[in-house]
Amino acid sequence: MDSLEIFTEKLLVELDSFPADSLKPDTHYRQLPEWSSMHVLIIIAFCETEYGITVTGEDLRGCSTLRDLHNLLLTRQ
């Protein structure tokens, strides 16, 4: 599993519709105006394709930040 910094860097490439510097490891991403259902799919696909880890919508609802998500992935590897 990548470090939080590398994980965030890779995920931001996929989540390219957020303005630069608006999404950091401790940002509450649901509060960003750009946050949409498309991002949920992108994050789930990213976790599956990049790390081979299945994340559900329920899992994502329990995460508020990319740090939460990274911690979740660490428990699943």
Partner 1 sequence: MPSTISAWEFAFPESTYSSEDFYREFPAIKRGNLEKTGVLKRHVASDGEFGSDLAFNAARKLMENLQLDPGSIDYLLYLSCDLDYYAPTTAGILHHRLGLKSSAGALDLVQGCSGYLYGLQIADALAQSGTHKRVLLLTASLLTKYIHPQDKGNRFLFGDAASATLIEHTNQGGLGPFLMGNDGSGAEAIIIKNGRSRHPGVDDNAPEIVDEFGNITTDNHLQMDGLAVFRFTMRTVPELVSTYLSQQRLTFNDIDLFVFHQPNLYLNELLRKKLRIPEDRFVHCIENYGNTVQNSIPLALHHAATTGQLRMGMRVLLCGFGSGFSWGITLLQYEQHAS
DSSP E strands in the chain: the ranges are none
Our CB check for partner 1 shows the closer of 12 and 40 to be: 40
Q: How far apart (Å, rounded) are the C-alpha atoms in residues 26 and 29?
A: 9
Q: Which is nearer to partner 1, 4 or 44 (CB)?
A: 44
Cα distance between the two ends of the chain: 7
Max CA pair span of the chain: 31
Give whichever of 3 and 19 is closer to partner 1, judged by the CB atom: 19
Query: Which residues of this chain interact with partner 1, rule CB under 8 A?
Result: 16-17, 30, 33-42, 44-45, 48-49, 56-57, 61
The distance of closest approach from Cβ of residue 17 to partner 1 in the complex, given in angstroms and rounded to an integer, is 3
